[in-house]
């Protein structure tokens, strides 16, 4: 009996470590995607036009995820600008198919992680006027 335990115990410990690593990576990826969504929404809310807001959100989300070390097989950044009017909001949804390639030993598939963040557009922001200055 003690021989079997001596042989099986290291394998069980190794399995528990692998499971712990995979769970940690999933939770970490979720936190990083949530943070990237918040950063992207903030960057989009600071822009003046809807097109610039969409570009800023996509660039910021991609940069935040790569800086955090999250590898996405596919990254989708959906930005809803609502016209970029003062007092409005900008909503950004970041969706990432997280690569668990190094956890293939346990047969863990890639996982879709998504987060949405909403930021207000400054109520007192300057707007472009069509008049001439004198």
Domains of the chain plus CATH, in order, are 2-120 (3.30.1300)
pTM of the model: 0.78
For residue range 26-69, what is the model confidence (pLDDT) as tens digits?
888 899 999 999 999 999 999 988 999 999 999 999 999 999 98
Q: Are 41 and 119 in contact (CB under 8 A)?
A: yes
Q: Which letter, b or e, does each residue of 107-134 get, where b requires 16 or more Cβ atoms within 10 Å of its Cβ? A: ebebeebebebebebeeeeeeeeeeeee
Please give the full DSSP string across 41-87, using - where no structure is assigned.
HHHHHT-SSHHHHHHHHHHHHHHHHHHHT--EEEEEEEEE-TT--TT
Question: For residue 74, how many other CB atoms are within 10 A of its CB?
Answer: 10
- The predicted-structure confidence for 71-126, as pLDDT tens digits, reads as follows 888 999 999 998 788 888 999 999 999 877 665 556 667 789 999 999 999 887 66
């Amino acid at each position: 009996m003690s021989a079997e335990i001596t042989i099986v115990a290291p394998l069980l410990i190794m399995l528990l470590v692998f499971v712990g690593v995979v769970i940690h990576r999933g939770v970490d990826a979720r936190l990083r995607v949530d943070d990237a969504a918040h950063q992207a929404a903030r960057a989009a809310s600071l822009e003046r036009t809807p097109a610039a807001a969409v570009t800023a959100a996509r660039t910021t989300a991609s940069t935040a995820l790569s800086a955090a070390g999250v590898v996405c097989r596919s990254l989708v950044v959906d930005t809803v600008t609502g016209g970029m009017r003062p007092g409005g909001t900008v909503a950004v949804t970041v969706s990432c198919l997280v690569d668990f390639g190094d956890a293939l030993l346990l047969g863990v598939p890639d996982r879709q992680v998504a987060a949405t963040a909403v930021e207000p557009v400054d109520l007192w922001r300057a707007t472009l006027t069509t008049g001439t200055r004198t």
